Amino acid sequence: MKKAEEIFQILKDNFPESNLELKNDQPTEAILIAPPLEIDKISLFLRDSSELLFDSLMNLSGVDDPKALLLSVYYHLESTKLKHKITLKVSTDRNKPEVSTVTEVWKGADWHEREAYDLFGIIFLNHPDLRRILMPYDWDAGYPLRKDYENPEFYQGMKVPY
Amino acid sequence: MMFDFLVDLTGSPILAGTIQSLLPLFLFILPFALFAVYLERKVSAHMQDRLGPMRTGWHGWIQTVADILKLIQKEDIVATDNDKFLFNLAPIVVFVGSYAAFAAIPFSSMFIGTEMDLGIFYIVAVTGLVVAGILMAGWASNNKYSLLGSMRSVAQIISYEIPTILVMLSIVMISGTMSLHTLSEQQTGYAWNWYIFGGPGSELSKFLFIPSMVVGFVIIYISTLAEVNRTPFDIPEAESELVSGYHTEYSGMKFAMFFLAEYANMFAVSAIVVALFLGGYQSPIGYLGDLIGAKWMIPIEQFSWFTIKGVFFVFVQMWLRWTLPRLRVDQLMAVSWKYLIPIAFVNLIIIGLITLL
Amino acid sequence: MPQDSVLNTKSSAVRTEEMVLNMGPQHPSTHGVLRLELTLEGEIVSKVVPHIGYLHRCFEKHCEAMTYPQIVPYTDRMDYLAPMGNEFGYAIAMEKLLGIQVPERVEYIRVIMAELQRISSHLVALGTYGADIGAFTPFLYCFIDREKVLNLFEITCGARLLYNYIWIGGLSHDLHPDFVRKTLEFIKEFRPNLKEVNDLLSHNRIFIDRTANVGILPIDTAINYGVSGPNLRGSGIKWDVRREDPYSIYHKFDYDIPVGEGKYGTVGDSWDRYYVRVLEMEESCKIIEQALEQLPDGDVQSAIPKRIKPPVGHVYARVENPRGDLGYFIISDGSTSPYRVKVRAPSFVSMQVLNELCKGYMVADVVTILGSIDIVLGEIDR
């Protein structure tokens, strides 16, 4: 059972060139910040390393931050065998959001990433089937959960605001 | 016989023949179908701890009449892409196939639809029409689900006819006749003379027959359950998988015909089982008419005994429907081909050997 | 989409094609508005693609416009068969973020309500599962018992299905004076009824033939996909959020965690998942009895804050819902409305494993497997 700082130290030892940070100033848990295009390698290490064994992805959610012009993705991981948890965060540019997919590591991330793409517009590179999941497949009026989203006037001839 | 009685009454054999063939239809089958639908609803309700229809008439006994009235005045929907001729023909074929079987069923010693030497053979042949009707219904509906449902139903009915015929063959071997009327006549006396207890007479062979007869009875009951598409064999109508199988696309009167044909079929197969194994219209305890010397009462008593036994087996069919889950298509086929047919064959051989001795 | 893909069989004279069959969105069997696109070869399924989103009601976007207490009725409506669990999760997450400690009485009542809700939700799961397989009668027997549970909820908070009962920091109403007596009566009547449903359905030969060895979920696949709840326990691993990540006062109770053992088939098949739910209902009865015995006095509304304005930060908390582990990820920016609420719905994650489970089985088995995973479209689509 490891603490966030220890996990951070192990990661830093194994990925010296990556830009990793640990933010511990806000309630309730510490967040480990990682670069968006290397998250797949880091995830693979987190899952397979014998000290960490993060075999379960609890949650994957997108978050919009218009003030800092960033789109972030939060990962909540847990280990069913070693009983510890960690929160990861990656941030990308709001105008060109690209994050590596982690579906190779945890298959359950598939639909979570599709939802993040559907509602925020975050493109997950190398995702096997990146298309909308909750909104209709041909919704072309933007990404609903972004802070600056406006409902379109019409969708397929039907008036949207009622 | 009934025919002679009617000829005396009306003076023309053609009219007498027509009336005689219409009698089972109107006096018995239609009222029975109405009653059976109501019975099913009440039986299922009480088994599920609820009440069933209560408002139409006393305890809901006119419910079926209300349903039929509703179905008659519904719009008759025929989709554009359906094969119109087959679509309209299918319910009629199924209806005819089920009802024509009633011509050879012995209702009482005085009344039987037609006096045929080929009773059982005719019944088996005519219920095959139902298969054609179901296939037509599935195809003409222009609906993938209906097609799947009707194909499954056809496979099921054809597979389960084989154990049925094998068991019927064994009874024919013992009694020496295919006419259901003669079969019922042979089982006179008390319940001890029924075929399920070995048949008339009291030689050793009668007792040897009893285990094979019981096995045969169980086999034929299960097979006829499958032929009527009742749970646990109701894959063709499986509501949760195929909506309604081959009669999804039908509405109004045509749907009512499928419905009524199903209940008539249920009674027909129960009647066959009763006639083959349980003495047909014979009473198990002797006749009241004999006791008080009124000979004219006997056919009426026989008719009521026949109805009671038939309705009891229909009730058991309903009971099974509401208790057991449904078998999957391949399991259904496995039951027939891997279990029922070998057992029926072995049964047939045993009965043949005993008859020879 | 392989609509007309042609498979070359050994004899070149016979050509087989794959058929694409649509199940839903309106269908008597699927548990909600779900569209399943099956690719069939004859009767064998080669691929299942679920299409969801028909019940999307924009819960997460809505939360950003409401204050924290206003969100509670909306959390009810996600998994509408187990609303107490949803509210419980939200309350736990917010209390973790705010640092509130609720009175003991509130904890006990919340546990009792959550366990009663577990019983009611599993009854629906079992009843509809039996109805899918073709056994119509257990469906009604299960619903009789569920009515009694709903009556208990009704005398407590006035609603039968969607309660708005567990608030942040406490409860909306205290228990009705008759509640303890009626609940004990219910449990006394429920145990023999459970045995009756077991005899009717669980050990029925035909039911076992339909569900055993169908849809086998290996443990590693389950953990990799993130499956949780009875689906995971059916595969043989004792993983329960109430033990692993304890919340509220579950550590005070003595209860067992049933797992699938492959009694009639392989470990992890549909029968195991179904039977784990049956056994869990028995365990819930035990917890309720113990909680009712130890129920302390107190004021259920004393810790409810007048105005909820959490500090800037984030929290992820989860509870054991009847369908799996339900997680709430809440980011607060210091104002009275949340900045982001993300709900990790257990059915959403479990649906992904359907494709793996259904490969190589028949169309009738797809219905069986879907019923054994026990999904609710309300929480998949939110």
Reported confidence tier of residue C1, pLDDT bands at 50, 70, 90? very low
> What is the pLDDT at residue B63?
85
Q: Structurally, how many domains does chain A consist of? A: 1
Is the preceding peptide bond at A27 cis, omega within 30 degrees of 0? no
Q: How far is B245 from chain C (nearest CA, A)?
A: 13
pLDDT for B202-224, tens place per residue? 677 777 788 888 888 899 888 88
What is the Cα–Cα distance from C354 to C350, expressed in whole angstroms? 7
> What is the pLDDT at residue B1?
60
What does the radius of gyration of chain B's CA atoms come to, in whole angstroms? 21
ipTM of predicted complex: 0.91
> What is the pLDDT at residue C6?
40
Give partners of B (≥3 CB pairs < 8 A).
C
> What is the pLDDT at residue B156?
85
Reported confidence tier of residue C89, pLDDT bands at 50, 70, 90? very high
**Number of Cβ atoms within 10 Å of the Cβ of B6:** 19
Q: Which residue range is the domain that position C230 belongs to?
A: 60-358
pLDDT over threshold 90, residue B186: no
Terminal CA-CA length for chain B: 37
Terminal CA-CA length for chain C: 27
CB contact under 8 Å between A134 and C53, yes or no, is yes
State how far the alpha carbon of B344 is from the alpha carbons of A159, B160, B350, in Å.
68, 11, 10
Touching check for C32 and chain B: CB below 8 Å? no
> What is the pLDDT at residue C298?
86
Reported confidence tier of residue B237, pLDDT bands at 50, 70, 90? low
Reported confidence tier of residue B239, pLDDT bands at 50, 70, 90? low
Looking at per-residue pLDDT, the higher value among B6 and C302 belongs to C302
Identify all chain C residues contacting A143, using CB atoms and an 8 Å cutoff: none
Touching check for B146 and chain C: CB below 8 Å? no
For chain C, percent of residues with pLDDT exceeding 90: 29
pLDDT for A6-64, tens place per residue? 888 888 888 888 778 888 888 778 888 888 888 888 888 888 888 888 888 988 998 98
> What is the pLDDT at residue B240?
46
> What is the pLDDT at residue C122?
93
CB contact under 8 Å between C209 and B328, yes or no, is yes
Helices B204-227 and B144-175, packing angle to 10 deg: 170
Looking at per-residue pLDDT, the higher value among B228 and C326 belongs to C326
Q: Which residue range is the domain that position A38 belongs to?
A: 4-159
Touching check for C42 and chain B: CB below 8 Å? no
CB contact under 8 Å between A59 and C237, yes or no, is no
Q: How far is C112 from chain A (nearest CA, A)?
A: 26
Identify all chain C residues contacting B324, using CB atoms and an 8 Å cutoff: 134-135, 204, 206
Touching check for C223 and chain A: CB below 8 Å? yes
Q: Which residue range is the domain that position B162 belongs to?
A: 2-356
Q: Which residues pair with C316 in a beta bridge?
A: C329
What is the Cα–Cα distance from C382 to B190, expressed in whole angstroms? 70
Looking at per-residue pLDDT, the higher value among A15 and B238 belongs to A15
- H helices of chain A, in order, are 4-14, 39-48, 109-120
CB contact under 8 Å between A58 and C344, yes or no, is yes
CB contact under 8 Å between C352 and A107, yes or no, is yes
Which chain C residue's Cα is nearest to A66? Answer: C339
CATH (domain of A28): 3.30.460.80
Query: Which of A58, A63, A145 lies nearest to residue C61, judging by beta carbons?
Result: A145
Residues in Cβ contact with C122 at an 8 Å cutoff, skipping those fewer than 6 apart: C277, C278, C280, C281, C322
Please give the average per-residue pLDDT across C348-371, as a whole number. Answer: 87
- Residue of C22, C137, C197, C367 to mutate, testing the B interface (most B Cβ within 10 Å of its Cβ): C137
> What is the pLDDT at residue C10?
41
Touching check for B231 and chain C: CB below 8 Å? yes
If you average pLDDT over each of B197-206, B232-241, C37-46, C270-279, which comes out highest? C270-279
Conformational region of residue C373, where left means phi above 0, alpha means psi within -120 to 50, and beta covers everything else: alpha
Identify all chain B residues contacting C28, using CB atoms and an 8 Å cutoff: 239-240, 243
pLDDT for C186-207, tens place per residue? 999 999 999 888 888 888 888 8
For tokens 């908390």, name the residue. C317
DSSP characters for B166-198? HHHHHHHHHH----HHHHHHHT-SSGGGSGGGT
Residue C42 lies in a domain: no
Q: How far is C100 from chain A (nearest CA, A)?
A: 13
Q: Structurally, how many domains does chain B consist of? A: 1
- Residue of C17, C136, C146 to mutate, testing the B interface (most B Cβ within 10 Å of its Cβ): C136
CB contact under 8 Å between C19 and B324, yes or no, is no
> What is the pLDDT at residue C184?
92
Residue C2 lies in a domain: no
pLDDT over threshold 70, residue C268: yes
Please give the average per-residue pLDDT across B254-274, as a whole number. Answer: 85
Asked if residues C318 and C327 have their Cβ atoms less than 8 Å apart, the reply is yes
The helix (H) or strand (E) run that includes residue C190 is: helix C179-197
Reported confidence tier of residue C154, pLDDT bands at 50, 70, 90? very high
Asked if residues C322 and C124 have their Cβ atoms less than 8 Å apart, the reply is no
Q: What is the mean pLDDT of chain B?
A: 80
- Residues within 8 A of C (CB atoms), A 79-138 only: 80, 83, 87, 106-108, 110-112, 119, 132-136
pLDDT for C239-267, tens place per residue? 888 888 888 888 888 888 998 888 888 88
CB contact under 8 Å between C316 and A135, yes or no, is no
Which chain C residue's Cα is nearest to A74? Answer: C329
- Residue of C224, C312, C354 to mutate, testing the A interface (most A Cβ within 10 Å of its Cβ): C224
What is the Cα–Cα distance from C131 to C188, expressed in whole angstroms? 26
Reported confidence tier of residue C26, pLDDT bands at 50, 70, 90? low
Q: How far is C215 from chain B (nearest CA, A)?
A: 15
pTM of the model: 0.86
> What is the pLDDT at residue B187?
78
- Residue of A111, A112, A113 to mutate, testing the C interface (most C Cβ within 10 Å of its Cβ): A111
Residue C146 lies in a domain: yes
pLDDT over threshold 90, residue C117: yes
Query: Which of C313, C318, C352 lies nearest to residue A111, judging by beta carbons?
Result: C352
**Helix (H/G/I), strand (E/B), else coil: C103:** coil
Touching check for C20 and chain B: CB below 8 Å? no
> What is the pLDDT at residue C90?
92
Chains B and A touch (3+ CB pairs under 8 A): no
pLDDT over threshold 60, residue C3: no
Handedness of CA A140, A146, A148, A150 (dihedral sign): positive
State how far the alpha carbon of B287 is from the alpha carbons of B17, B187, B197, B307, B310, in Å.
29, 14, 20, 15, 18
Determine which of B171-185, C4-18, C142-156 has the lowest per-residue pLDDT on average. C4-18
> What is the pLDDT at residue C131?
83
Q: Structurally, how many domains does chain C consist of? A: 1
